Amino acid sequence: MRRLGIHSFVWTDGKTQEGLEMALEKSAEHGYRMVELAYLFPGRYDIERLAARARALDLEIVVTMGLPPEADVSSEDRDVVAHGRALLSDVVKTVRDVGGIRLGGILYSKHGKYDRMPSRDGWMNSTEAIAATAETARTCGVEIVLEIVNRFESNLLNTTAQGLKFIADTDRDDVRLHLDTFHMNIEEADPAAAIRLAGDRLGYFHIGENYRGFLGTGTIDFTAYFRALADIGYDRDITFESFSGAIVDEALSVACGIWRDTWTDNDALAAHARTFIEEKWREAAMARQVLAAV
Amino acid sequence: MRRLGIHSFVWTDGKTQEGLEMALEKSAEHGYRMVELAYLFPGRYDIERLAARARALDLEIVVTMGLPPEADVSSEDRDVVAHGRALLSDVVKTVRDVGGIRLGGILYSKHGKYDRMPSRDGWMNSTEAIAATAETARTCGVEIVLEIVNRFESNLLNTTAQGLKFIADTDRDDVRLHLDTFHMNIEEADPAAAIRLAGDRLGYFHIGENYRGFLGTGTIDFTAYFRALADIGYDRDITFESFSGAIVDEALSVACGIWRDTWTDNDALAAHARTFIEEKWREAAMARQVLAAV
Amino acid sequence: MRRLGIHSFVWTDGKTQEGLEMALEKSAEHGYRMVELAYLFPGRYDIERLAARARALDLEIVVTMGLPPEADVSSEDRDVVAHGRALLSDVVKTVRDVGGIRLGGILYSKHGKYDRMPSRDGWMNSTEAIAATAETARTCGVEIVLEIVNRFESNLLNTTAQGLKFIADTDRDDVRLHLDTFHMNIEEADPAAAIRLAGDRLGYFHIGENYRGFLGTGTIDFTAYFRALADIGYDRDITFESFSGAIVDEALSVACGIWRDTWTDNDALAAHARTFIEEKWREAAMARQVLAAV
Amino acid sequence: MRRLGIHSFVWTDGKTQEGLEMALEKSAEHGYRMVELAYLFPGRYDIERLAARARALDLEIVVTMGLPPEADVSSEDRDVVAHGRALLSDVVKTVRDVGGIRLGGILYSKHGKYDRMPSRDGWMNSTEAIAATAETARTCGVEIVLEIVNRFESNLLNTTAQGLKFIADTDRDDVRLHLDTFHMNIEEADPAAAIRLAGDRLGYFHIGENYRGFLGTGTIDFTAYFRALADIGYDRDITFESFSGAIVDEALSVACGIWRDTWTDNDALAAHARTFIEEKWREAAMARQVLAAV
């Protein structure tokens, strides 16, 4: 693992500059070395100030988002796609401006429940948009990763295999997968095998419980996931993600379907998650050594 | 286990009388003794003829559904609630008319992704509607079970504990829980413990894989679920549910987020599922005997 | 969990006074509040000095052992049984003298691979010996717990159900079970269910990996065990046990079949085990809260 | 999977010709296409008659055994090693004579609990003996596979990694590993990873529950094992093994530590095991297809 990150929604609903700055402070205070910001739409925040705070705290920034319906690059509507491409281009530049290293999430489609089947034309519109975005990102020094999500949050890329096919269709070798245990638990036949299938196309990894709560209190077999990451020699970043009604506001709750308060004490949550992930990572590495010892 | 059932969507999109009759034949042919029909809205089908076919095949019928937005009994809008109560009453009578023994599913709210938080008034409207529906059902000889579903398909009842509280609030002892492995995998901290928590309030049980495909090819630890059912002495019905783009039509695919063909051969699927469930059931019973043997 | 302990074999082969004292220091230094000593046969050590060291460090002492063949109280040979009863009585007094709170392990039979089937007479000899030992222990303020072990280390009590029957046959309500994840992994049909079966008869619990190495690097589903402990409201002690050829000497390696060095750095092992157990304990308690939250 | 086999101890203690012939009949009757015979020491049985019966039933024969102490080829005593080499040579010829295709088990050491540490000289004696046995086997048309067993049944080869090293030291490319879920559950850090580590060196596979009873009633995560077999494209034989005090006699019970009757109805056991293994095999193959589908 390169750096261990934490999603800012653990700390703030992200609506204000103050909220984001507090999230940076809290993340660093808890020993995280990366913070994930969501929906960092241009113009809303003092980007330079955020960049300076992150640098001062030796925190790297990742930005993730999902497209709004009116900017869905997997649409068959030319104007919607154009809007989406412009939005992606703007966000990439904002990521650059904030000193961010990576843009991830549902960049290839709307974030939400679709009411139509995916289409071949939409797929092609989306791969072209991502290819163009990746080119912009390259010039900005930003990495593009595509989050594979469950069926209720996109109709286009629900599995690792689909994601690999999509990336192949972009014809870019600098676009990678962004996998997430919460989503894999719903969609993958075999999550550990999916990680091995992704191999060196895996660019970013999200750790979350099955019900998005406190790690280790749900059903996800994290040992299997971490051993698969060890199997492929994963050496990129890992970020902890958890949502509770206690922090996110109604709009965000609605977007993510967070109807319950699965936790209230985010300090305890973050401290535990760091220990949990670091220990699992270490145990997986040791398991490989034990396996091979003679 | 009392009777082993199968969801009609394995066989048909359920839009035509012929489709439903074929589903009955197929279910019986594969040795299932119960069939689950969905959205059996009054007036669409020749109910008497379906009832006669089921009787002839010694198949019991269960009907499940989720409420449409305009009939959401958890709404705060009095007219919508009234519409929902009328719909539920009509459906109960249709279940009676088709010779069905049980009405389940998302009877207490809209089936779909909400764009608002649940409310206390909505909860009370819903418990009252379910209490009234249960009274109608009692006179019709139909059992009411409430399906606990994931956050993307309702905002009201996502966990067993919520379901038990809801039932307590209906003040009825004839309303029971309808649990489903697909949904529990997303929402429960500990699905086996949730089954033990439900205990004799568990009235119906759905078996589905994490990604809704072929049993045993996903991540769900069915052994743990079946052992929990054995622990509580569960002696009611179990129904197999699996959806694939290969069968359901676009409208249904959209409602359930079925964007992929996870299988194409439904005969193979149904034959395997019966063996799978019967063997797991038997293994769970034997595990209890082995555990206690001295 | 009352106190978290660690087996002295993590630190020493236990052959010398110096070794045991170092084990006490190390255990306390790593934050453990209990230490388990093995085969504390009378006369070999300066018991008073050990007791004083433990008191000074606020460490409680548990002693565990298995009977040698010539003192097997499950024998059909009257002299062997008499020898065994005398040995148990002496050890109980040594436990008292060292300030120990509990005597556990394979007190009811030989520790080792049997070359004969268990017998009814041997069972009765053993239950009588344990009943007598428990009476002595009561007067000494020492608790007796019986370790259920795998088939290769005793032929008498390999499962929790057998242990409960055995305890019932002693007619004592102060004899309890001592369960161990390493052994349960080999013998129990369902270890979590076995813990629930033991319920308040469970008096002591050992945590070890399937191959006796570093926790979390093997196959044992500790989450399931800890949730079962939470289910029964377990509030007694838990002790970490791990053996490696790196520490135990040849005689001990032979007794326990330790042919490999599964670890070499016992400081790292002990530090990790404490974190591992404390976090699993906490996660299990939280999972119960999440499960029941409405 | 090439052929599905069953161990003859499911049917008989193997002491008489009649018992073995009955085991052949029963195995074939239950649809198994291979039978495993144990300790087929030369001279005890009418080998020609057994061979003819097997041919008539289209059953293939595998023989497995562990060395007795006086023939331990991992001994440092030259005479004992010579005795062991002669025994192995004789058994290979008997396997050939009975029409067997394979000799497996603990061919490289004593079968039993050791009371000494393994030694470098013993390892070399053993690799040389196995190399010589493999040469004899080659001329006899018999395959040699080495069973990796738990620490209580040999001190030499307890893990896959050790087995691979051992085979490399024999300098033979026709000696393969014989893995067994019962043993792997005790010794491997990660059994599925161990199967992937073995890869095409895996020559034979035993399926048994953690406590050696009815499949699916214990703790072993067979899904993980079968998916690993699918990962390596395993296309050799798989044999079901289960022991109960109900069938094996006292001598065998003692050798294997079978102190309990874990089942009594071997017809039910064998019928269930065949379904269990065939379904798991199929599910694992399908899981791979689902994983890779786009």
What confidence tens digit (pLDDT) does each residue in B121-148 have?
Answer: 999 999 999 999 999 999 999 999 999 9
Please name the residue of chain A whose CA is at the shortest distance from the CA of residue D156. A294
pLDDT of residue B208: 98
Subunit contact D186:C114, Cβ cutoff 8 A = no
Q: Kindly write down the DSSP assignment for every residue of C116-175, as one continuous string.
A: S---HHHHHHHHHHHHHHHHHHHHHT-EEEEE---TTT-SS--SHHHHHHHHHHHT-SSE
* Inter-residue long-range contacts of D121-124, CB under 8 Å, 24+ positions, other chains counted: D121/D76, D122/D74, D122/D75, D122/D76, D122/D156, D123/D74, D123/D156, D123/D166, D123/D169, D124/D169
pLDDT at B249 over 80: no
Condensed to tens digits (0 to 9), the pLDDT of residues C35-60 reads 999 977 767 899 999 999 999 999 99
> CB of D158 within 8 Å of any CB in chain C?
yes
pLDDT of residue C263: 92
CA distance A206 to A212: 11
Condensed to tens digits (0 to 9), the pLDDT of residues A109-140 reads 999 999 999 999 999 999 999 999 999 999 99
For residue D158, the chain C residues in CB contact (below 8 A) are 259-260
CA distance C49 to C12: 17
**ipTM > 0.85, yes or no:** yes
Residue ranges making up the domain that contains B14: 4-293
**Rounded mean pLDDT of chain B?**
96
Quick one: DSSP state of residue D99?
A: T
pLDDT at A50 over 90: yes
- Give the pLDDT mean for D188-200: 98
CATH assignment at residue A226: 3.20.20.150
pLDDT of residue A241: 96
CA distance C94 to C43: 9
C-alpha distances in angstroms, A5 versus A1, A22, A244, B55?
A: 10, 15, 18, 60
For residue B287, the chain C residues in CB contact (below 8 A) are 189-190, 193
CA distance C160 to B282: 22
Inter-residue contact A103 to A64 (CB < 8 Å): yes
B184: pLDDT confidence band, cut at 50, 70 and 90?
A: very high
pLDDT of residue B253: 82
Q: Where are the alpha helices (DSSP H) in chain D?
A: 17-29, 47-56, 78-97, 120-140, 160-170, 181-187, 191-198, 222-231, 250-256, 266-292
Q: Which among D164, D197, D294 has the least Cβ separation from residue A165?
A: D294
Condensed to tens digits (0 to 9), the pLDDT of residues D132-189 reads 999 999 999 999 999 999 999 999 999 999 999 999 999 999 999 999 999 999 999 9
Chains interfacing with C (3 or more CB pairs < 8 Å)? A, B, D
List the single best residue of A123, A190, A282 to mutate versus D (max D Cβ within 10 A).
Answer: A190
pLDDT at C194 over 90: yes
Residues in Cβ contact with C245 at an 8 Å cutoff, skipping those fewer than 6 apart: C253, C258, C259, C260, C261, C262
C-alpha distances in angstroms, A153 versus A64, A68, B200, B259, D294?
A: 14, 12, 35, 12, 18
pLDDT of residue B250: 79
pLDDT at A142 over 80: yes
First-residue to last-residue Cα distance in chain B: 26
Structure-token pair, residue B229: 């059912």
How many residue pairs from chains B and C have C-beta atoms closer than 8 A?
55
Structure-token pair, residue B10: 């394995």
Subunit contact D217:B293, Cβ cutoff 8 A = no
pLDDT at B42 over 90: no
The residues pairing with D34 across neighbouring beta strands, listed in sequence order, are D5, D60
Sign of CA dihedral B91, B95, B101, B106: negative
Going by C-alpha positions, the residue among C212, C289, C199 that lies closest to residue C243 is C212
A60 among known catalytic residues: no
Shortest Cα–Cα distance, D78 to chain C (Å): 23
For residue C188, the chain B residues in CB contact (below 8 A) are 291
For residue D186, the chain C residues in CB contact (below 8 A) are 185-186, 210-211
CA distance D158 to D146: 11
- Give the pLDDT mean for D90-118: 96
- Give the pLDDT mean for D232-257: 88
Q: Residues 222 to 281 of C: which have CB under 8 A from any D CB?
A: 250, 253-254, 257-260
Q: What H or E segment, with its residue span, contains residue A129? A: helix A120-140
Condensed to tens digits (0 to 9), the pLDDT of residues B107-121 reads 999 999 999 999 999
Please name the residue of chain A whose CA is at the shortest distance from the CA of residue B157. A259
Amino acid in position D288: R
Condensed to tens digits (0 to 9), the pLDDT of residues A181-213 reads 999 999 999 999 999 999 999 999 999 999 999
List the single best residue of C148, C156, C294 to mutate versus B (max B Cβ within 10 A).
Answer: C294
C70 among known catalytic residues: no
- Which of A232-246, C236-250, C254-268 holds the top average pLDDT? A232-246
Catalytic residue among C36, C147, C153, C209: C147
Subunit contact D214:B293, Cβ cutoff 8 A = no
CA distance B154 to D168: 59
Q: Where are the alpha helices (DSSP H) in chain B?
A: 17-29, 47-56, 78-97, 120-140, 160-170, 181-187, 191-198, 222-231, 250-256, 266-292
Shortest Cα–Cα distance, A22 to chain B (Å): 27
pLDDT at D228 over 90: yes
A47: pLDDT confidence band, cut at 50, 70 and 90?
A: very high
Q: Kindly write down the DSSP assignment for every residue of A251-266, as one continuous string.
A: HHHHHHT--S---S-H
Subunit contact B276:D275, Cβ cutoff 8 A = no
pLDDT at B289 over 90: yes
Q: Which among C214, C223, C290 has the least Cβ separation from residue A262?
A: C290
| CA dihedral angle for residue A34, residue A38, residue A42, residue A47, rounded to 10 degrees | -30
pLDDT of residue D43: 77
pLDDT at A281 over 90: yes
- Give the pLDDT mean for C22-27: 98
For strands C175-180 and C143-147, give the pairing: parallel
Q: Which among C165, C194, C292 has the least Cβ separation from residue B291?
A: C194
Residues in Cβ contact with D68 at an 8 Å cutoff, skipping those fewer than 6 apart: D110, D111
Q: Which among A161, A193, A290 has the least Cβ separation from residue D293?
A: A161
Please name the residue of chain C whose CA is at the shortest distance from the CA of residue D181. C186
**Rounded mean pLDDT of chain D?**
96
**Residue reference for tokens 């909860």:** B123
Q: How many domains in chain D?
A: 1
Residues in Cβ contact with D83 at an 8 Å cutoff, skipping those fewer than 6 apart: D70, D71
pLDDT at A249 over 90: no
pLDDT at D252 over 80: no
pLDDT at A248 over 80: no
For residue A211, the chain C residues in CB contact (below 8 A) are 290
- Give the pLDDT mean for C73-80: 98
CA distance D195 to D205: 10
Instruction: Please count the other Cβ atoms lying within 10 Å of the Cβ belonging to residue C136.
Output: 18
pLDDT of residue B245: 85
Q: What H or E segment, with its residue span, contains residue D103? A: strand D102-110
Residues in Cβ contact with B68 at an 8 Å cutoff, skipping those fewer than 6 apart: B110, B111
Inter-residue contact D207 to D240 (CB < 8 Å): yes
A43: pLDDT confidence band, cut at 50, 70 and 90?
A: confident
> CB of A131 within 8 Å of any CB in chain D?
no
> CB of B211 within 8 Å of any CB in chain A?
yes
CA distance B225 to B75: 33
Instruction: Please count the other Cβ atoms lying within 10 Å of the Cβ belonging to residue B83.
Output: 18
CA distance B224 to A219: 11
Condensed to tens digits (0 to 9), the pLDDT of residues D41-96 reads 767 899 999 999 999 999 999 999 999 999 999 999 999 999 999 999 999 999 99
Q: Is A266 exposed, middle or buried (0-12, 13-18, 19+ CB in 10 A)?
A: buried
CA distance D237 to D234: 9
Structure-token pair, residue B193: 């413990």
CA distance B156 to A259: 8
Please name the residue of chain D whose CA is at the shortest distance from the CA of residue B280. D216
CA distance A242 to A269: 9
pLDDT at C199 over 80: yes
Residues in Cβ contact with C54 at an 8 Å cutoff, skipping those fewer than 6 apart: C24, C35, C60, C61, C98, C99
Catalytic residue among A36, A60, A143, A147: A147
pLDDT of residue D222: 98
List the single best residue of C184, C190, C288 to mutate versus B (max B Cβ within 10 A).
Answer: C190
Instruction: Please count the other Cβ atoms lying within 10 Å of the Cβ belonging to residue B245.
Output: 17
Q: What H or E segment, with its residue span, contains residue A85? A: helix A78-97
For residue B283, the chain D residues in CB contact (below 8 A) are 214-217
* Per-residue three-class SS string for D58-71: CCEEEEEEEECHHH
Going by C-alpha positions, the residue among B222, B155, C73, C207 that lies closest to residue A250 is B155
> CB of C167 within 8 Å of any CB in chain B?
no
D254: pLDDT confidence band, cut at 50, 70 and 90?
A: confident
pLDDT of residue A44: 82
For residue D162, the chain A residues in CB contact (below 8 A) are 294
